[in-house]
Amino acid sequence: MNELEKKIKAKIPGEDTGIEIKRSLCAICSPGCHCGLDCYVKDGQLLKVEGTLEHPYNRGKLCTKGAANRNYIYREDRIRTPLKRVGPRGEGKFEPISWDEAYGIIAEKLAAVKEKYSPHSVAFFSGYCKWYRPILHRFCYTFGSVNFGTDDSTCFKSMDIANSLTTGAPGGPNIPNTNTFLGWNYGGYYSNHLSVGPVRALKERGGKVIIIDVRYSPAAKNFADIFLQIRPGTDGALALGMGKLIIDNGWADMDYIEKHTYGFDEYKELVQNYPLDKVCEITGLNPDDVFEATKLYATNGPACTNFSASALTHRVNGLQTHRAIICLGALTGNFDRPGGNVPSFASYIHKRGGFTTREMEFREEKRPFDQLRIGETRFPTWDEYCDEFQAMDLLRQIEEGRPYPVKAIVGFGMNAKMFPETDKLVKAFDKLDFFVDADMFMTYTAKYADIVLPSCSSLERGEMKAYEGGYLAFTKPAIPPLYESKSDVDMLCELARVMDLDDDLLKAGYEACCDWMIEGNGVTVADLKASDLPVKIQTAKPVVPGAYLEKGCRTPTGKIEFYSKAIAAYDPKYGLNPLPDYVDPLFDENDPETKEKYPFHMIAGIRIPNTIHSRVHEVPWLRSLRPDPLCEINQDDAKNLGINDGDPVEVSSPYGTVRLKAMITAKLQPGVLAMAHGYTEANANVLVGRDHLDPYSGYPGFKSLRCSIRKY
Ligand SMILES: Nc1nc2c(c(=O)[nH]1)N[C@H]1C(S)=C(S)[C@@H](COP(=O)(O)OP(=O)(O)OC[C@H]3O[C@@H](n4cnc5c(=O)[nH]c(N)nc54)[C@H](O)[C@@H]3O)O[C@H]1N2
Ligand SMILES: Nc1nc2c(c(=O)[nH]1)N[C@H]1C(S)=C(S)[C@@H](COP(=O)(O)OP(=O)(O)OC[C@H]3O[C@@H](n4cnc5c(=O)[nH]c(N)nc54)[C@H](O)[C@@H]3O)O[C@H]1N2
Ligand code: SF4
Ligand SMILES: [Mo]
């Protein structure tokens, strides 16, 4: 091997090696992340990735999944061309067609459904990928359908609604200025690696950490001054019990309560029902530990609380649990103060850049109002605070055709395994006249589509992206789109032209749309594209703690609402409680027969570092880190059932059965099982009933299910 060959093998960039570093971003996980990537490229091929050291968000760091980007984009099952189904749904037989033919079929089929039924009979759905959503949302509205839905029906929004009802604003933990971090369902090590650094820094400067988790998590091990290993889904009772302790011990900030809150007297009365002994009976916790944790939180302020987009809200009591936890911040005066939970609003696709874009107006100006969305009137708080259909009602409406039929789905990254009773949903696809799905990979769900469109990855496209600290970026493709794949937004804008939608902006293309949305911020897409790194936006304003309360909360009373006026206004037929009371997370599965047959409490959907939903189970390197779907079980339970580590086990619920391997652990409590979701061969969601839903948000109770387990 000569010197040059050695340098090429070592992937050293330079003119001689022909290896260039091109900047892009990782879009494998949520838009809350999207780490900057240095892509090492030679002859249009990606050789390797590293985190971008100068990127204001990740500063060079990548997680396990991000490090696997090369393995991810070159997956064997990448869709190469547009495809038309030629076999039965689900079988996976397709023939390649041209883009023109694909657009022609889509235009014709959607027009036919619009004509025969109505535009609302076409549901537009986006999976976890969010970058193209403003375009898809507007496309849906311009087409004339009210039915735009996303994975928000299971993620983030329930927490967001609880915030809207209680404080009127999302409030992230201000860890750099805090004294005590209440890590309530804090999964940072596995779910958001960049959130760990500030907690470590807090510990290093002598701050205190309380961890409340069902598992002995890495955060519990590394950071906890007090660790409360709580019974799954009983957090609402704990929060109310802590509320009572805070009031009874005189730790409440009465001036703050007087000035900024509404409904304190009613709340005070409610928490009388949660004395310490009762709370410990429900939660399985030790009274001294609960007392000490509460005292630390309430007296060693400022204190801030971590919120999870999913862990607690994936329960049928989730929204109210979340409200009960927010109320602790109101009781102790920790909402909107330095070191507490400080409100800030999104700039663009969930990122809080401190500047404003016209993302909302972009879709609102095309919004139709002449029909109820799918699921509308079933979950009133969802209806009021979320402008999407509640996808947990999609299966019912396809099956029943009430109040009107759903006859076509336009899916972008749609994953049926996200939905409870997945098997019924894919069966219901047979009732559709048309289903088109755009994805990077030939997924389980894409196999049910009539037309499949090949999407390219973030490394193969240009994308607008906001970042905290006042940044905005527009990436450029690091490599050309593989095969005949395209960027999702280009597909939508081209389709808008083919369908001749009444929308000049969409027809003008993605960059024109972005320019429209960022107008008023002193930059254009061309300016952003001129930089390889995110650009500092001059209109960005820093978050000033206290400013939000000063203005008045975005709630009906303008105050933080212990007692929610909005909930009180809903029709009593819904049976909703304006106070954040606790109910059992299995209240709808507690009949004696079900209890006996399915004695375990399953958490279906834990996060582990090497998986994300359904998306990377087939990435060879990531899969090799955990080759089999595993069900975690406590060591004593395993012993009693004669289960050894690695044994094949069958897990059943009243709705279905999955087969996995046992992983024996001391980190999980007896009586509790846990598994990751998204596997095709062991899909957690066949265990979940479609009506096991939070009556406030419509969220499925993924994380509290009754199950049985046996060796097979
Ligand atoms: N049992 C259980 N179920 C759960 C959860 C749980 O904890 N337990 N979690 C819930 C939560 S919080 C969420 S967010 C959802 C997530 O559920 P999904 O939205 O279903 O998430 P993914 O599996 O990431 O699926 C997204 C799809 O988008 C495709 N994709 C990736 N990049 C692109 C792209 O650029 N363009 C297009 N068109 N497609 C792309 C992927 O290949 C994949 O098929 O799952 C929910 N479901
Ligand atoms: N690696 C990886 N990262 C991800 C994802 C992924 O699939 N894989 N998904 C992304 C998405 S879409 C989301 S929504 C986020 C969610 O990410 P997180 O909000 O961090 O959610 P989880 O990791 O499910 O749960 C957080 C912690 O809560 C604990 N927990 C579970 N149930 C309970 C309970 O009843 N009470 C208490 N107190 N604690 C409980 C879990 O053990 C865990 O330690 O993760 C994102 N990041
Ligand atoms: S998958 Fe990992 S590297 Fe990629 S954006 Fe998410 S946190 Fe960053
Ligand atoms: Mo999520």
pLDDT tens for each residue of 183-236 = 999 999 999 999 999 999 999 999 999 999 999 999 999 999 999 999 999 999
Ligand 3 midpoint to CA 32 (Å): 9
Ligand 1 midpoint to CA 125 (Å): 12
Q: Where a domain ends, among 22, 49, 73?
A: 73
Is there a single domain that holds both residue 55 and residue 180? no
Q: Render pLDDT for 532-549 as a digit per residue (tens, 0 to 9).
A: 999 999 999 999 999 999
Q: Render pLDDT for 287-329 as a digit per residue (tens, 0 to 9).
A: 999 999 999 999 999 999 998 889 999 999 999 999 999 999 9
Q: Render pLDDT for 156-190 as a digit per residue (tens, 0 to 9).
A: 999 999 999 999 999 999 999 999 999 999 999 99
Q: How far is CA 423 from CA 152, 448, 577, 685, in A?
A: 21, 12, 34, 9
Query: Nearest ligand to the C-alpha of residue 29?
Result: 3
Q: Render pLDDT for 441-467 as a digit per residue (tens, 0 to 9).
A: 999 999 999 999 999 999 999 999 999
Residue with CA at minimum distance from ligand 2 atom 44: 187
455 lines ligand 1 (CB under 6 A): yes
455 lines ligand 2 (CB under 6 A): no
Is there a single domain that holds both residue 627 and residue 647? yes
Give the helix/strand (H/E) hosting 162: helix 157-166
Q: Residue 176: which CATH number? A: 3.40.228.10
Q: Residue 53: which CATH number? A: 3.30.200.210
pLDDT at 478: 98
Q: How far is CA 475 from CA 24, 26, 514, in A?
A: 6, 11, 13
State mean pLDDT over 115-124. 98
State the pLDDT confidence band at 341, using cuts at 50, 70 and 90.
very high
Query: Nearest ligand to the C-alpha of residue 314?
Result: 1
Q: Where a domain ends, among 42, 73, 104?
A: 73
330 lines ligand 2 (CB under 6 A): no
Is there a single domain that holds both residue 503 and residue 418? yes
State mean pLDDT over 660-677. 98
Q: How far is CA 592 from CA 420, 442, 596, 602, 689, in A?
A: 23, 43, 6, 17, 18
Residue 92 within a domain: yes
Please identify, by atom number, the ligand 2 atom nearest to the C-alpha of residue 234. Answer: 35
- What whole-number distance in Å separates Cα of residue 171 and Cα of residue 342? 5
The residue type at 485: S
Helix intervals (H) in 205-317: 218-223, 235-248, 254-260, 264-271, 276-283, 287-299
Residue 549 within a domain: no
Q: Render pLDDT for 550-564 as a digit per residue (tens, 0 to 9).
A: 999 999 999 999 999
Residue 488 within a domain: yes
pLDDT at 668: 97
Is there a single domain that holds both residue 197 and residue 278? yes
607 lines ligand 3 (CB under 6 A): no
Is there a single domain that holds both residue 203 and residue 286? yes
Ligand 1 midpoint to CA 255 (Å): 45
pLDDT at 290: 98
CA-wise closest residue to 328 among 228, 231, 422, 251: 251
Ligand 2 midpoint to CA 190 (Å): 8
Residue with CA at minimum distance from ligand 1 atom 30: 413
Is there a single domain that holds both residue 513 and residue 401? yes
Residue with CA at minimum distance from ligand 3 atom 3: 66
187 lines ligand 2 (CB under 6 A): yes
Is the pLDDT confidence value at 400 over 90? yes
Residue 582 within a domain: no
- What whole-number distance in Å separates Cα of residue 677 and Cα of residue 63? 19
pLDDT at 682: 98
Residue 625 within a domain: yes
Number of domains in the chain: 4
Q: Where a domain ends, among 343, 359, 388?
A: 343
Is there a single domain that holds both residue 353 and residue 284? no
Enclosing domain of residue 489: 83-156+349-533
Ligand 3 pocket test, pick from 62, 465, 467, 611 with the greatest ligand atom count within 8 Å of Cβ, gives: 62
474 lines ligand 1 (CB under 6 A): no
Structure tokens at 160: 């967001």
Residue 543 within a domain: no
Query: Nearest ligand to the C-alpha of residue 679?
Result: 1
Is the pLDDT confidence value at 37 over 90? yes
Is there a single domain that holds both residue 100 and residue 183? no
pLDDT at 414: 98
Q: Calculate helix-pair angle for 488-498, 510-518, nearest 10 degrees.
A: 100
Residue with CA at minimum distance from ligand 1 atom 8: 605
- What whole-number distance in Å separates Cα of residue 425 and Cα of residue 123? 14
Residue 164 within a domain: no
State the pLDDT confidence band at 340, using cuts at 50, 70 and 90.
very high
State the pLDDT confidence band at 391, using cuts at 50, 70 and 90.
very high
State mean pLDDT over 98-103. 98
Is there a single domain that holds both residue 480 and residue 497? yes
Residue with CA at minimum distance from ligand 1 atom 27: 413
Query: Nearest ligand to the C-alpha of residue 67?
Result: 3
Query: Nearest ligand to the C-alpha of residue 293?
Result: 2
421 lines ligand 1 (CB under 6 A): no
Sequence-distant (6+) residues with CB within 8 A of 212 are 182, 183, 184, 185, 227, 228, 230, 235, 238, 293
- What whole-number distance in Å separates Cα of residue 181 and Cα of residue 179? 7
Do residues 408 and 116 touch, judged by C-beta distance below 8 A? no
Ligand 2 midpoint to CA 390 (Å): 21
CA 394 and chain centroid, separation:
19
Ligand 3 midpoint to CA 26 (Å): 6
The alpha-carbon radius of gyration of the chain (Å, integer) is: 25
pLDDT at 288: 98
SS (H, E, C) 393-409: HHHHHHHHCCCCCCCEE
Residue with CA at minimum distance from ligand 3 atom 5: 34
Do residues 37 and 27 touch, judged by C-beta distance below 8 A? no
Q: Calculate helix-pair angle for 318-331, 157-166, nearest 10 degrees.
A: 40
Ligand 2 pocket test, pick from 126, 151, 157, 310 with the greatest ligand atom count within 8 Å of Cβ, gives: 310
pLDDT at 309: 83
pLDDT at 31: 87
Cis ω for the linkage preceding 176 (within 30 of 0): no
DSSP string, 118-141: -GGGEEEEE-S--TTHHHHHHHHH
pLDDT at 122: 98
Is there a single domain that holds both residue 228 and residue 353? no
Q: Render pLDDT for 365-387 as a digit per residue (tens, 0 to 9).
A: 999 998 999 999 999 999 999 99
Is there a single domain that holds both residue 325 and residue 413? no
- What whole-number distance in Å separates Cα of residue 510 and Cα of residue 133? 12
Please identify, by atom number, the ligand 3 atom nearest to the C-alpha of residue 612. Answer: 1
- What whole-number distance in Å separates Cα of residue 290 and Cα of residue 281? 12
Residues surrounding ion ligand 4 at CB below 5 Å: 155
Ligand 1 pocket test, pick from 452, 615, 679, 693 with the greatest ligand atom count within 8 Å of Cβ, gives: 615
682 lines ligand 1 (CB under 6 A): no
Do residues 595 and 626 touch, judged by C-beta distance below 8 A? no
CA-wise closest residue to 286 among 212, 221, 222, 233: 212
Is the pLDDT confidence value at 679 over 90? yes
Do residues 615 and 678 touch, judged by C-beta distance below 8 A? yes
Ligand 2 midpoint to CA 108 (Å): 42
Q: What is the chain's length?
A: 712
State the pLDDT confidence band at 116, using cuts at 50, 70 and 90.
very high
456 lines ligand 1 (CB under 6 A): no
Q: Render pLDDT for 577-600 as a digit per residue (tens, 0 to 9).
A: 999 999 999 998 899 999 999 999
Q: In the predicted model, what is the mean pLDDT of the chain?
A: 97
Ligand 2 midpoint to CA 322 (Å): 14
pLDDT at 575: 96
Ligand 2 midpoint to CA 142 (Å): 36
Query: Nearest ligand to the C-alpha of residue 392?
Result: 1
Residue with CA at minimum distance from ligand 2 atom 9: 612
- What whole-number distance in Å separates Cα of residue 87 and Cα of residue 76? 21
Is the pLDDT confidence value at 638 over 90? yes
Q: Render pLDDT for 244-268 as a digit per residue (tens, 0 to 9).
A: 999 999 999 999 999 999 999 999 9
Is there a single domain that holds both residue 401 and residue 510? yes
pTM (two decimals)? 0.97
State the pLDDT confidence band at 30, using cuts at 50, 70 and 90.
confident
State mean pLDDT over 602-617. 96
Sheet (strand 208-213) strand order: 226-229, 208-213, 180-184, 303-305
pLDDT at 429: 98
pLDDT at 422: 97
Structure tokens at 668: 């999980």
Residue 559 within a domain: no
Q: Is 636 helix (H, G, I), strand (E, B) or coil?
A: helix
